[in-house]
Chain A
Amino acid sequence: AAGVIQSPRHLIKEKRETATLKCYPIPRHDTVYWYQQGPGQDPQFLISFYEKMQSDKGSIPDRFSAQQFSDYHSELNMSSLELGDSALYFCASSSREAGGTDTQYFGPGTRLTVL
């Protein structure tokens, strides 16, 4: 079965640079989520989109922005990178289920290293 695709899988950037992470959800999934997982920590929710509209927002820094496109893929744009942004960034996708919450399926993650 097709899974969530994230690119790139690894990214190395310098401080103050920008980075763009991409996420391609499972086919026919309409909701995308972004999470950040620091070393030895649990994943922290950043933001989600349903049908190309922002749905829920967590602890996403103002330096970060995201959007979902017409083909349902999503991009997380990160500017003015800081050392503390070094983390594993997960994208997850789900299919809207009536009257309930959706099971989120995660991609393999993008490991971002800021030097």
Chain B
Amino acid sequence: AQKVTQAQTEISVVEKEDVTLDCVYETRDTTYYLFWYKQPPSGELVFLIRRNSFDEQNEISGRYSWNFQKSTSSFNFTITASQVVDSAVYFCALSEADNNAGNMLTFGGGTRLMVKP
């Protein structure tokens, strides 16, 4: 069975601080995909990144960066120089990879990030 754990339920920072959101996963599959989604107060789910289990390269996109460590089953997300617009709930998610379409996403419980001015 797959499981995703986001131990931090809520984080509060002041604008311009760096913040890291933790994600730990469990899966018996050797091939899998990891995702991060952002859910702002308006409610939609916005795709941020996808990583497959073969690719442990860290990724940077603007102020966002992701650190994937297979050895510790973690896929952490760092926001540098946070801004008020970053305030949202962030979900880490896992999907197995096989030749079937329509594989479900298993989400973590989410981390609510509040960035104060």
Docked-complex contact A102 and B104, CB < 8 angstroms: no
Interface string of B42-69 (1 = CB under 8 A from A): 0111110010100000000000000000
Q: Give Cα distance in the complex from A100 to B91, angstroms.
A: 21
A106 CB within 8 Å of chain B = yes
Docked-complex contact B45 and A43, CB < 8 angstroms: yes
Q: How far is the CB of B43 from chain A (nearest CB, A)?
A: 6
Nearest 10 A/B pairs, CB to CB: A55-B102, A48-B102, A50-B101, A45-B104, A106-B45, A42-B107, A101-B97, A50-B102, A56-B102, A101-B33
7 intermolecular pairs with C-beta atoms under 8 Å apart: A31-B102, A42-B107, A56-B100, A56-B103, A100-B33, A101-B103, A102-B101
Binding site for B on A (CB under 8 A): 30-31, 33, 35, 41-45, 48-51, 55-56, 58, 88, 90, 92, 94, 96, 99-109, 111
Binding site for A on B (CB under 8 A): 32-33, 35, 37, 43-47, 50, 52, 91, 95-110
